[in-house]
Amino acid sequence: QVQLVESGGGSVQAGGSLRLSCAASEYTRNTYYMGWFRQAPGKEREGVAAIYTDSGRTYYDDSVKGRFAISQDNAKNTLYLQMNSLKPEDTAMYYCAAATSNLWFWGWAAPRAYNYWGQGTQVTVSS
């Protein structure tokens, strides 16, 4: 059982930065990969970034490449998402997700590739 707790969301103006954190009860020992997703009102949940916990290899959606960075601190069992140059279209609820089963064949950005989810943290970017 993996418990995930996100923090760090808030309201910022366009061009600003936020860093999201996701504290995990169990980390690299039991997870293949972790990711960040977001969901805006009326839209489907979409993958933002993912990281393989063993290798540290990262993956990004094209909409955030060059602006967002996913990272992990294994000693702290924490996943991060550094978000820079934020845009109003980045406004959404952001979720942390973990995979303790290897469901990578669904693709890193598919919600079904993850079997544990946090409760989410709201990010609001104003123009």
Question: What is the reported pLDDT for 60?
Answer: 98
Question: What is the reported pLDDT for 104?
Answer: 87
pLDDT per residue as tens, the chain (127 positions): 789 999 999 999 999 999 999 999 876 567 899 999 999 999 999 999 999 988 999 999 999 999 999 999 988 889 999 999 999 999 999 999 999 988 888 999 999 999 999 999 999 999 9
Question: What is the reported pLDDT for 74?
Answer: 84
Q: Which residues pair with 99 in a beta bridge?
A: 33
Question: What is the reported pLDDT for 1?
Answer: 78
| Residue in 59, 55, 42 with CA at minimum distance from that of residue 97 | 59
Q: Which residues, including other chains, have CB under 8 Å from residue 8's CB and lie 6 or more apart? A: 18, 19, 20, 21, 121
Question: What is the reported pLDDT for 30?
Answer: 77
Question: What is the reported pLDDT for 61?
Answer: 98
Distance CA 97, CA 87 (A): 23
